[in-house]
Every structure is written in structure tokens, then in C-alpha cells.
Amino acid sequence: MSTATTTVDWRRVSARRLARAGLAGGGQMSGAAGAAAGGAGRASGAGGAATAGGAGEAASAGGASRAGGAASVGGADQAASAGSTGRAASAGGADQAASLGGADPMAGPAAAAGLADARAARVAGGADMSAAAADPAATVAAMAGAHAQIMSAAELSVALRMVGARAGDVRGAVWGERSLTKTFGPRGTVHLLPTAELGAWLGALSALPPIVERFPADVRLTPDQLDAVLAAVGTALAGTELTVDELDAAVGELTGPWAVEEVMPAFQTMWPRWRQAMGMAAHRGVLCFGAGRGRKVTYTNPDVKPAAADDALATVVGDYLWSYGPATPPQFAKWFGGTPAWGAEVFARLASAGSIEEVDFDGASAWVAAGDTAFEDTEPAGVRLLPYFDAYGVAGQPRDQLFPGRAAERALTRGQAGNRPILLVDGVVAGIWHLRRSGRRATVTVEAFRTLNRAHSAALEQQVARVAEILDLASELVLGEVEAGPHA
């Protein structure tokens, strides 16, 4: 039982989260998409429907499954999963923007000041996503990071929250403006993070407790070897981009043959020993993803010093609570990649410092950023199609409220969110969907778990049109069972 003086319920919490996530009401549609949606029809089962398309740059098919021949373009190669095998020790220092392999710092003083102003508005309470929705970096900051293991899904996830944006706008922020950095983030998974805030994120990630070693002693890196590998990675990637094979060779040359001995089990093969430190290299600020070379993934050195752990954790926890609070220490720890005990310690320190505040959430103790206790008496409303691993579904808690009834069976995989794209109706998961691309056309199949009223049906048609606009595709909406399995 909570002893907090502020009491909130799921209805008001859900409405506030939707507003802050830029997901309340209708989609952020351009005039072209809205007009296309106005004439769109629907089909049941395998039938056809009217098309809705848009002009702009060609984009990979976001939210598409590998099953059934659908496109699932972009994302990291399997080597990226090695990033979750190490944790960096805490490092002091101030937050700074990344130069990303010699490129001009894309988050210069103006961009950094803009994100600082946006954070100040969030901390002050009452702000929603409307001010951020014109800028990919500010949008991702308000999302507390965008999962990018499937890059095309990340592009769709961010663009859906912006007015009239396309997938190419998000890619431009990552590889052109460099206002977003693709790196290993929460839970060891690939994320897009605002470059101007990268020091804080790396400082918080570096403060995670060491993971239990899963390799035998003769495979693991000794402390001296780890230091040598981190130094070699930073040197090899400074001012350039390398594929993982090129990075293997460079690390071996800079350290010695022991670093590239193929002793690390991974994906039914053996990897060089040093790769178990990829995640730690990212958290130390000497490795992130490069723009790629054709279909090959590349890495570069962002040259960012992690912020001091206490300050970094206060920043990241505050951002998480602004977007997805009220939340409990175990919920934060699960989202970020720590243990429940570690999460409890972090929240206890922040509560003692006055950075967070306890509230009563449906009769249980939960936490918000200090002073962020205003919850309007508003009904959650809106219809949204959210792609694979969208931040709202992954971070949203409690699960039984966000994924009620059949949603828990069909939209979760062993309790894990993100493996299926979700239909969000009035703040709860009310279906799943699948996009199958064939040439310049996409078939969007939506499996609703309840009957949609006329307003919800019209909003769904608009969402299909908006997805098509973002991906520069024509589309048809099919209402029926989604047969494609969950993403692995």
C-alpha cells in the first residue's frame, strides 16, 4: 500500500502517456495522406481494398516480417548481438555531442540547447510531444530512445510521431545530420539515441551492474586484455568506418593474436574473442554504428565520454518516468537492462536526492519525476498502428492494463512486448498487424481483438494511409487474422 499523497488511476495515466508520446488522437498525417485515407476502403479475409499512397523518397518496409516473403530491410547484422555481453564501468565526465568518425558534430550548440530546453519543459511537467514532433532527435528524446534492431521499424516508429515525416527524414537524422546515433542501448539492444544526450545515456548504461559471465574462463577477457581491446577499438575506428571483419583485423594487429582467436560461441559458429567487448566499447563511447557499406554493417568511433554515473542515471530515469511513469523500480530495471535489486537501489538514491516522487497508482506505490504529479481527468483516445519493438509497447506497464485479455496471448511473446506490431485503441492494445510488401504496394493485415466502431474504423484507415505515406507505398487494408509469426 502506497503512502503517497497523489493518487492516480490507469485511465488518467494512459491519457497522459499517449499525449506525451505523440500518440493521442489521430495520426500526424499530411494533407496527401489524409485525402488518400478519406477514399480508402476495407476488406475482410483475403479481399482487396482501395489504395492509399504518398510521394517522396523510397523507404524500406518498416514493420514487415521476415515470414511469408515480406520485406524486413535494415537493422544490424548478427554481430551486433555481441553488444549485450559486456557492461562498461562507470566513467566520469560531462555530456557531449558525438563527432561520429570525423563528421561535423551534428548536434552542435543550437541542437543541444534545443534538447536541453525540451528536457526542461518535460521536467517542469505538463508538456506533450507537440513541440518535439517536427524534429527526429527531439522526438526520440521524448520516446526515451527508439529500438532499432530492425532499422526500418525504427524509422516508422519515429516518423509516426512527427507531422508529415517520411522514413527518409529519420534516416537523414541518423546518417546525414547525425543528430541521432545508432548504438547499443537499453537491454543491450540496438537503439537510436539523441547524439546531444549520448553522454548521459552512456553514463547510465555504464552504471549497470556487471552481468554474469556466460563464457568459460579460458574464453573470457582478463581485465588487462579488456583494456587493450577497448583502446584498440577506439584507435581503429577513429575518423573512419570499418566492417566487423575489418575491425577484427585491426584489433588483432593492435593487440595480438589472442584477441582474434575464434573461441566465442555465437550463432552456430565461433567469433573472435574480442567481440564479447563490443557492448562495453559502445558504452565507453568508442564504438557505434556507421552508415554502412552497401549491405554490410559498419562501425565508427563517436568519441563521446560517458557522463558521471549519478548525474546520468538521474537524467535517464527522469526521462523514462516522464514518458512511461508512474513506474516501479523493477519496471525501470527490466526496461533498462538491470536487476530488480539494482533498480531499487537507484530509485532509493534518487528519492533521497529529491529527484523522484512517490505516487499511488491504482493502490500501489509507483514513482514519477519530482513535481510531475499533474494528471488531467481525460479519457485516453486514439488509434495507432505501432511497428515492431515500438517504445510505447516495450516500456509500457503494467502489462495486464496495456495488454488486456487476448492481447496478452497474441501480442506478447512469453510476456515480452515488441515481437509483434500492435494496434493501439484508446490507450490499450486491441490488435496486431502485419505489413507485407510486394514491389511498390503494401498489404496491411489488421487482426482486431474487438469490434471497432465507425470512428475507430475510420481512424484505422487513416493510420494505414499514414504508414503508406511514410514508406512511400500504395497500400490496402485487410481485416483478418494475422498468420505471420512473431519476430524472433
DSSP string, 44-89: ETT---------SS----TTB-SGGG-----S--GGGGGGGG--PP
The DSSP call for residue 197 is G
Q: How many other CB atoms are there within 10 angstroms of residue 267's CB atom? A: 10
Q: What are the backbone dihedrals phi and psi of residue 21, each rounded to the nearest 5 degrees, phi first?
A: -85, 0
Q: What is the pLDDT of residues 453-465, one digit of tens each?
A: 999 999 999 999 9
CA–CA dist 106, 217 (Å, integer): 42
CA–CA dist 116, 112 (Å, integer): 6
Q: Is the pLDDT of residue 105 over 60?
A: no
Percent of residues, the chain, with pLDDT higher than 70: 77
Residue among 459, 433, 463, 436 at smallest CA distance from 448: 433
Q: Is the pLDDT of residue 149 over 80?
A: yes
Q: What is the pLDDT of residues 206-241, one digit of tens each?
A: 999 987 677 888 999 999 999 999 999 999 999 999
- Residue 414 banded pLDDT, cuts 50, 70, 90: confident
Predicted pLDDT of residue 446 = 97
Predicted pLDDT of residue 486 = 83
- Do residues 132 and 139 touch, judged by C-beta distance below 8 A? yes
Q: Is the pLDDT of residue 270 over 60?
A: yes
Strand partners, 358: 367
Q: What is the pLDDT of residues 329-379, one digit of tens each?
A: 999 999 999 999 999 999 999 999 999 999 999 999 999 999 999 999 999
* Angstrom distances, CA of residue 25 to CA of 166, 196, 256: 20, 30, 58
The owner of cell 565520454 is: 305
SS3 at position 382 = strand
SS3 at position 193 = strand
Q: Minimum mean pLDDT among 53-67, 94-108, 262-276, 434-448: which range? A: 53-67
Residues contacting 28, CB < 8 A, separation 6+: 22, 133, 160, 161, 162, 163, 164, 165, 466
Q: Minimum mean pLDDT among 43-57, 375-389, 412-426: which range? A: 43-57
CA–CA dist 186, 406 (Å, integer): 28
- Do residues 344 and 327 touch, judged by C-beta distance below 8 A? no
Q: How many other CB atoms are there within 10 angstroms of residue 353's CB atom? A: 11
Determine which helix (DSSP H) or strand (DSSP E) holds 123, and give its type and residue range.
Answer: helix 109-124
CA–CA dist 433, 65 (Å, integer): 10
CA–CA dist 54, 95 (Å, integer): 39
The owner of cell 482487396 is: 48
Predicted pLDDT of residue 229 = 98
Mean pLDDT score across all residues of the chain: 83
In this structure, the strands spanning 298-300 and 190-194 are unpaired
Q: Is the pLDDT of residue 91 over 70?
A: no
CA–CA dist 312, 197 (Å, integer): 10
pTM over 0.85: no
CA–CA dist 172, 168 (Å, integer): 6
The DSSP call for residue 176 is I
Q: Is the pLDDT of residue 40 over 90?
A: no
At 399, list the grid cell: 502489462
pLDDT (mean) for 117-143: 67
Helix axes of 109-124 and 309-324: crossing angle, nearest 10 degrees: 60
- Residue 286 banded pLDDT, cuts 50, 70, 90: very high
- Residue 442 banded pLDDT, cuts 50, 70, 90: very high
Residues contacting 312, CB < 8 A, separation 6+: 95, 199, 200, 201, 202, 203, 204, 206, 207, 306
Residues contacting 34, CB < 8 A, separation 6+: 462, 465
CA–CA dist 361, 328 (Å, integer): 10
Predicted pLDDT of residue 121 = 57
